[in-house]
Amino acid sequence: MEEPWKGWALGAVAFIVGQIPFLFIGSPTLDTIGPLEPRWYGLLFASAFIFGYMITYRMFSIAGRSQEDMDRLLIYVLIATVIGARLGHVIFYDLDYYMRNIHLVPQVWTGGLASHGAAIGIIIAMYLYVKKTPGMTFFWLADRVVPAVAIGGMFIRIGNFMNSEILGKASDLPWAVIFEVSPHLTATERAIPRHPSMLYEALLCLVVLGVLWSIYKKYQNRPPEGSLFATFLVMLFTGRFLIEFTKLAHSDIEATWTLNMGQWLSIPLVAYGIWVLVKQVNWSKQGK
């Protein structure tokens, strides 16, 4: 494979693109550089892109896959992530509103993305990609995509923290955070210390990445097919299920539920991951 210069070039593009939505809906800035006000979220979006690209590039390179394979995968995953995350938010969290305002569905820059939707979109994209790529199975590919998803999730959740998004419930823990500038809270609510739920998820993603990489290296860069993918699903969405207990509800109706939407959506993903671990993964031998 060629040198991964494309990752840096596309990362620069990602940084620029990452600024655009927050010119409309607001986001804390890094600093003012002349007439420019680069946003924290843009930097973290680009970081997710660059490091995710690099880790997948390395795994593809070790396996002897071509640069062309990598470039096509990049396009599939990018498109699927944006479409899946947007439709996930529309369908799972605010369907009634968007049914009345269907013209707002494509307006990603107004905010509203769901990680469960992104996960479903990426799974569909990988299935379609494998259909067009000779000599590659779904589980082989998924094992080499999920580490990038984990590291990307970490950066995105830090971005959510900087934007005071996905707020936690009130807490008296020593690490509770006061979100003084959150547009989602009243003046009184902004003075209340809260769980930094987004940082919990960022840490979860980092731990998941460490476990995945340990398995990858234990099997000398040839993990049993499906092992990384299934481990990712079980660890990430079990953790997500638990962290959801610390978050504010998305709506008044959801506040009355025993489990929120994020938890209900996590259950089938965890169940599928367990099924793959038990029925599909052969831990006694290396993969391809």
Does any domain span residue 45?
Answer: yes
Does any domain span residue 241?
Answer: yes
Which has more pLDDT, 15 or 220? 220
pLDDT of residue 34: 47
Does any domain span residue 285?
Answer: no
Digit-coded pLDDT (tens) for 165-175? 888 999 999 99
Does any domain span residue 132?
Answer: yes
How many domains does the chain contain in total? Answer: 1
What pTM value is reported for the model? 0.85
Does any domain span residue 228?
Answer: yes
Question: Domain range holding 234?
Answer: 5-279
Does any domain span residue 134?
Answer: yes
pLDDT of residue 242: 97
DSSP string across the chain: ---THHHHHHHHHHHHHHHHHHHHH---BS--BTTB--BHHHHHHHHHHHHHHHHHHHHHHHTT--HHHHHHHHHHHHHHHHHHHHHHHHHHH-HHHHHH-GGGTT-GGG----HHHHHHHHHHHHHHHHHTSTT--HHHHHHHHHHHHHHHHHHHHHHHHHTT-SPBPB--STT-B--TT-TTS-TTGGGS-B--HHHHHHHHHHHHHHHHHHHHHHTTT-PPTTHHHHHHHHHHHHHHHHHGGGBPPSSTTGGGSSS-HHHHHHHHHHHHHHHHHHHT--TTS---
Which has more pLDDT, 128 or 39? 128
Does any domain span residue 288?
Answer: no
Instruction: Assign 39 a pLDDT band (cuts: 50, 70, 90).
Output: low
